[in-house]
């Protein structure tokens, strides 16, 4: 199982679910408190101190470029939890997958906003090498995770 983005060359891939990247920060950065389903545009993020997981860097650069906006990160980190830690410290706004954000934010003062940018969706994917035989256990797991579409 992999989360996009990743290089799919030589792989057979089946997406299980998709979720948006979210902006996560303390209420003072947003000017209001509590959780919100209100989606944020990239324009709303321009000028905020941003921290994000390195694996999303090219994805974010492309979306900001298409929107004609600069992407000037406060920090680029090597995992989503570190980005969320910076957000919890009130230093920056973390850009992370929605599920990771929702789990981390429970019981905290952090505010979560999905991003309103179609290109900033990430997917959980079942992947296998095209050239490698699959074991019976791998086939059974794939069948449980994605049904007949993984056959």
Share of the chain above pLDDT 90, in %: 34
User: How large is the average pLDDT for residues 38-65?
Assistant: 90
Res 23 pLDDT > 50? yes
Res 148 pLDDT > 90? no
Task: Give 79-138 pLDDT, tens digit per residue.
Answer: 999 999 999 999 999 999 998 888 888 888 898 889 988 888 887 777 878 888 878 887
List, in sequence order, every residue forming a beta bridge with 93; answer none if it has no partner.
Answer: 50
Res 33 pLDDT > 80? no
> CA nearest 67: which of 44, 96, 84, 43?
43
pLDDT class of 37 with cuts at 50, 70, 90: low
Res 36 pLDDT > 60? no
Please work out, in degrees rounded to the nearest 5, the angle formed at the alpha carbon of residue 98 by the alpha carbons of 42 and 37.
70
Q: Which domains does the chain have, with CATH numbers?
A: 2-150 (3.40.190.290)
Q: How many CA atoms lie within 13 A of 44 on its CB side?
A: 17
- Give backbone dihedrals phi and psi of 140, rounded to 5 degrees, phi first: -65, -40
Give pLDDT, residue 12: 78
CA distances from 101 to 21, 27, 62, 95, 112 (A): 9, 15, 22, 9, 7
């Amino acid at each position: 199982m992999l989360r996009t983005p990743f290089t799919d060359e030589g792989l057979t891939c089946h997406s299980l679910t998709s979720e948006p990247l979210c902006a996560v920060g303390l209420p003072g950065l947003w000017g209001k408190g509590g959780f919100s389903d209100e989606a944020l545009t990239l324009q709303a993020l321009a000028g905020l101190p941003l921290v994000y997981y390195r694996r999303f860097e090219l994805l974010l650069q492309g979306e900001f470029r298409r929107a004609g906006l600069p992407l000037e990160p406060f920090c680029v980190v090597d995992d989503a939890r570190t980005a969320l830690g910076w957000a919890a410290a009130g230093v920056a706004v973390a850009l992370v997958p929605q599920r990771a954000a929702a789990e981390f934010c429970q019981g905290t003062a952090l505010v979560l906003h999905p991003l309103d940018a179609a290109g900033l969706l990430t997917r959980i994917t079942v992947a296998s090498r095209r050239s490698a035989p699959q074991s019976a256990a791998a086939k059974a797991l794939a069948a449980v995770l994605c049904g007949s579409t993984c056959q």
